[in-house]
Amino acid sequence: MSLVAPKSARRPLPGWVEIVILPLVNVALAFLVVGVIVHIIGVDSFQALKLLLVGALGSSEAIGYTLYYATNFIFTGLAVAIAFHAGLFNIGGEGQAYIGGLGCGLAVLAFDRYLPGPLLILLAVLAAAAFGAAWAAVPAWMQAWRGSHIVITTIMFNFVASALMVYLLSNVLRPQGSMSPQSRGFSEAASLPSMQAVLKSVGIAVAPSALNLAFALALLSAVAVWVFLWRTSWGYALRTMGHNAEAATYAGTNLRRMTMLAMCLSGALAAGVAVNELLGVHHRIVLDFPAGYGFAGIAVALMGRSHPFGIVLAALLFGALQQGGTELSFEIPAMTREMVVVIQGLVILFCGALAHLPRPWLQALVGRRS
Amino acid sequence: MEETLTFVTLTLAATLRVATPLVLCAMGGLFSEKSGIIDVGLEGKMLMAAFFAAATASLTGSIWAGVGAGIVAAEVMALLHGVACITYRGNQVVSGIALNILAAGLTVVLGTAWFARGGQTPPLGDSERLMPIFFPVARDNILVYAALLSVPFTWWAIARTRFGLRLRAVGEMPLAVDGAGVSVGWLRYRAVLLCGLFAGLAGAYLSMAQNAGFSRDMTAGQGFIALAAIIFGKWRPFPAFGACLIFGLLDAVAIRLQGVSVPGVGEVPVQLIQALPYLLTLFLLAGFIGNAVAPKAAGIPYEKEH
């Protein structure tokens, strides 16, 4: 958390204010500004909120889509958070998810005629993670061995990934005779089962949606990240490096190797977006499927205070906003889906860069009472 | 012979045209970075300026109101960055990213609400755009010359003025500047606001000169290419200008090379040329082409000891 917390000791706030109240005030400020913007557009904020809630949670189909979007946010939120804990700022989630999709897709395209479903999907998920990790490993290597700033290099790698994928999809992977820049469709065996089908098999009927088993994988990843960070010695070393690199060195941690580990895990987690989108929904490699989820992960991680549990909560909120916002834009044409992007930006601003803004107010409040 | 000459002239003119927003942005970014404030939000500032410039020009019909609105929009973003990074000592990269995402969303949200054209502003007529001054073929509007002048200006301001001396000092060792009785915060605010001014001009250029109106995400990474140019120029104005020209030339050539087979090489993928600015910068950052050293205090919020 060294990215958010100030370097010097400030007048401390009581623990519960620091952990619960301050983040809530930050989020509230962000949404206050959202309300002002909605008002400027000339839309009734409360009606918009009502439509948004109904759109996000009003039916089992709506909830399905909310959870499907949340899946992507969980993956990228975890990816940003695990790097945060190591004191690294990975802005490359977008590119890592994109290249992860390449690995995932190549594995399926190469083997979907030979392997049975479960094995094929396992292979595709592993390939996605490996490619995502590899794309993060280069900036990590540049940071650890050559001293280049990881923020700048991961930004550049996003653009390189995008150019590479456009080239591959329009020149190499595009089937002959097809005009659109995308790969051939995956075989049926490579489809992740939809949540509807899974629930039906245990006797629960829900409306069909894009929600698929990747959601379960995302929740598992969240648990795994928690166990790794707080219950293993590697996780401990990683967090030590994030808090105080010098202390970590004295404790015998190899900072270079730990940087590589943190970034590779981060890239592998970001590649979860590819699993959800390609194996779950598109069933082929498509252009621009990361669609800003990599950047949104920064908002999710900041809002969730880099804790897996907080990240899942924040991801559910962003999933609901995404789904509700889409429905809202059908009802009120003046409100576009990009409102969600505005909210992401404001959350990053208020929960990240301006995180200390309400601190003096809270100090005055708490100080008066004690 | 004459054909070659025309080709060269046109390519050079195109280079300058493409490089103009990069140069303006890079010079603005230089002021900010030299003062120790990292600016990954150049893209967002430029995008916001492009939107408000085109929106105002189309609503008022006045070119100068448009350019002015672009500058004001970028300055508001710059001020937000300043408040977050200088006053509240927030993380500079987080702030820059936030502003980029905010700009990407807000321009489309406001554009759709105000003009109902899917995020675009109404197309600008010739009387609402910045038109060529001397050579219509080269499309040399006033901002192209402003960009050319911004380079010696930036060099002079940073290397030859008292403000520049302090600016460089505050980017390397703010404690010393503070000790000399000069306000670190005020210096950095001025640097950030100068950055906003240049980014505003760059945005206005995009929507009022290079194009006739705003379209969503029209900056398309140029703010980051400008950032790459700053690094490539090792935080010095003239080398950064050179990097902008090289990157502009690559872009101009990429358009002309589309589908053309180069003798001895075959067809060069356009995407490779488009990715070259980033790849070159990565090679530089990895230490394969010299060494790029950022201002020492860049990215570190300054806190007074007492």
Distance from CA of A3 to the nearest CA of B (A): 6
Q: Which residues of chain A neighbour B97 with C-beta distances below 8 Å? A: 91, 295, 298, 348
Report the candidate in A126, A87, A135 with the shortest Cα–Cα distance to residue A258.
Answer: A87
| Average of per-residue pLDDT values in chain B | 90
C-alpha B22/C-alpha B26 separation (Å) is: 6
Q: Which residues of chain A neighbour B102 with C-beta distances below 8 Å? A: 342, 345-346, 349
Supply the pLDDT for residue A16. 83
Report the candidate in A291, A250, A256, A235 with the shortest Cα–Cα distance to residue A101.
Answer: A291
Q: Which residues of chain A neighbour B227 with C-beta distances below 8 Å? A: 152, 155
DSSP labels, B138-153: TT--HHHHHHHHHHHH
Give the CATH class of B2-129+136-285: mainly alpha
Distance from CA of A333 to the nearest CA of B (A): 8
Q: Which tokens in the block code for residue A90? A: 């990975």
Distance from CA of A301 to the nearest CA of B (A): 12
Supply the pLDDT for residue A2. 42
Note whether residue A19 is domain-resident.
Answer: no
Cβ–Cβ gap B97/A348 under 8 Å: yes
For chain A, say whether B101 makes contact (Cβ under 8 Å).
yes
Distance from CA of B95 to the nearest CA of A (A): 5
Report residue B106 CA to chain centroid gap. 19
For chain A, say whether B80 makes contact (Cβ under 8 Å).
yes
Nearest CA in chain B to A340: B105
Domain that holds residue A340: 27-359
| ipTM computed for the complex | 0.91
Residue B84 pLDDT grade (very low, low, confident, very high; cuts 50, 70, 90): very high
Cβ–Cβ gap A302/B89 under 8 Å: no
When pLDDT is averaged across residues B291-304 and rounded to a whole number, the result is 82
Least confident of A242-251, A324-333, B90-99, B253-262: B253-262
When pLDDT is averaged across residues A129-139 and rounded to a whole number, the result is 97
Cβ–Cβ gap B97/A295 under 8 Å: yes
Cβ–Cβ gap B285/A91 under 8 Å: no
pLDDT in tens, A276-313: 999 999 999 999 999 899 999 999 999 899 999 999 99
CB-CB: which of B100, B221, B231 is closest to A159?
B221
A contact test, residue of B37, B115, B278 with most A CBs within 10 A: B278
Note whether residue A128 is domain-resident.
Answer: yes
- Look up the pTM and report it: 0.91
Q: Which residues of chain A neighbour B83 with C-beta distances below 8 Å? A: 354
Q: Which residues of chain A neighbour B88 with C-beta distances below 8 Å? A: 353-357
Cβ–Cβ gap A348/B101 under 8 Å: yes
Supply the pLDDT for residue B37. 95
Q: Which residues of chain B neighbour A90 with C-beta distances below 8 Å? A: none
Cβ–Cβ gap B98/A342 under 8 Å: no
Backbone φ and ψ of A175, nearest 5°: -65, 150
In sign, the C-alpha dihedral spanning A293, A297, A300, A303 is negative
In sign, the C-alpha dihedral spanning A224, A227, A228, A232 is negative
Note whether residue A135 is domain-resident.
Answer: yes
When pLDDT is averaged across residues B14-24 and rounded to a whole number, the result is 93
Note whether residue A289 is domain-resident.
Answer: yes
pLDDT at A64 over 50: yes
pLDDT in tens, B134-167: 877 777 889 999 999 999 999 999 999 999 999 9
| Average of per-residue pLDDT values in chain A | 91
Cβ–Cβ gap A171/B269 under 8 Å: yes
DSSP labels, A38-70: HHHHT--HHHHHHHHHHHHHSSHHHHHHHHHHH
Backbone φ and ψ of B149, nearest 5°: -75, -25
pLDDT at A22 over 80: yes
Note whether residue A248 is domain-resident.
Answer: yes
Report the candidate in B137, B147, B166 with the shortest Cα–Cα distance to residue B248.
Answer: B147
C-alpha B229/C-alpha B30 separation (Å) is: 10
Sequence letter at residue A299: A
Cβ–Cβ gap A353/B94 under 8 Å: yes
Q: Which residues of chain A neighbour B271 with C-beta distances below 8 Å? A: 163-164, 166-167
Q: Which residues of chain B neighbour A354 with C-beta distances below 8 Å? A: 83-84, 88, 90, 95
Supply the pLDDT for residue A272. 97
Cβ–Cβ gap B97/A91 under 8 Å: yes
Number of CB pairs < 8 Å for A and B?
A: 163
Cβ–Cβ gap B94/A37 under 8 Å: no
C-alpha A90/C-alpha A297 separation (Å) is: 10
Residue A321 pLDDT grade (very low, low, confident, very high; cuts 50, 70, 90): very high
Look at chain A and report how many structural domains it folds into.
Answer: 1
Residues 205-244 of B with CB under 8 A from A: 221, 224, 227-228, 231
Q: Which tokens in the block code for residue B195? A: 């950055």
Residue A105 pLDDT grade (very low, low, confident, very high; cuts 50, 70, 90): very high
The answer to whether B173 and B296 have CB atoms below 8 angstroms apart is yes
pLDDT at A7 over 70: no
Residue B304 pLDDT grade (very low, low, confident, very high; cuts 50, 70, 90): confident
Nearest CA in chain A to B284: A148
Q: Which long-range contacts (CB under 8 A, 24 or more apart) does B225-228 make?
A: B225/B22, B225/B277, B225/B278, B226/B21, B226/B22, B226/B25, B226/B26, B226/B29, B226/B42, B226/B202, B227/A152, B227/A155, B227/B26, B227/B29, B227/B39, B227/B40, B227/B42, B228/A156, B228/B277, B228/B278, B228/B280, B228/B281
Residue A368 pLDDT grade (very low, low, confident, very high; cuts 50, 70, 90): low
Supply the pLDDT for residue A30. 92
Least confident of A47-51, B14-18, B284-288: B284-288
Alpha-carbon distances, residue B286 vs A154, B117, B230 (angstroms): 13, 44, 16
Supply the pLDDT for residue A5. 45
How large a percentage of chain B has pLDDT more than 70?
98
At residue A30, the 3 state secondary structure works out as helix
Domain boundaries, chain B: 2-129+136-285
C-alpha A289/C-alpha A181 separation (Å) is: 12
Least confident of A136-150, B199-213, B289-303: B289-303
Please classify residue A275 by burial: count the beta carbons closer than 10 Å to its beta carbon, then call 0-12 exposed, 13-18 middle and 19+ buried: buried
Note whether residue A364 is domain-resident.
Answer: no
Report the candidate in A76, A86, A93 with the shortest Cα–Cα distance to residue A258.
Answer: A86
Q: Which residues of chain B neighbour A4 with C-beta distances below 8 Å? A: 91, 94
Q: Which residues of chain B neighbour A142 with C-beta distances below 8 Å? A: 282, 285-286
Least confident of B3-7, B61-65, B130-134, B289-293: B289-293
Q: Which residues of chain B neighbour A147 with C-beta distances below 8 Å? A: 287
Cβ–Cβ gap A353/B84 under 8 Å: yes
pLDDT at A102 over 70: yes
A contact test, residue of B38, B40, B91, B289 with most A CBs within 10 A: B91
At residue B261, the 3 state secondary structure works out as strand
CB-CB: which of B90, B102, B228 is closest to A345?
B102
Q: Which residues of chain B neighbour A171 with C-beta distances below 8 Å? A: 269
Residues paired with residue B262 on neighbouring β-strands, in sequence order? B266
The CATH number of residue A307's host domain is 1.10.3470
pLDDT at A87 over 70: yes
pLDDT in tens, A152-169: 899 999 999 999 999 999
When pLDDT is averaged across residues A42-54 and rounded to a whole number, the result is 88
CB-CB: which of B224, B275, B287 is closest to A163?
B275
B contact test, residue of A36, A338, A350, A356 with most B CBs within 10 A: A338
Cβ–Cβ gap A349/B100 under 8 Å: no
pLDDT in tens, A266-280: 999 999 999 999 999
In sign, the C-alpha dihedral spanning A276, A277, A283, A286 is negative
pLDDT in tens, B251-284: 888 877 777 777 777 778 888 888 998 998 888 8
CB-CB: which of A148, A338, A352 is closest to B285?
A148
Sequence letter at residue B297: A
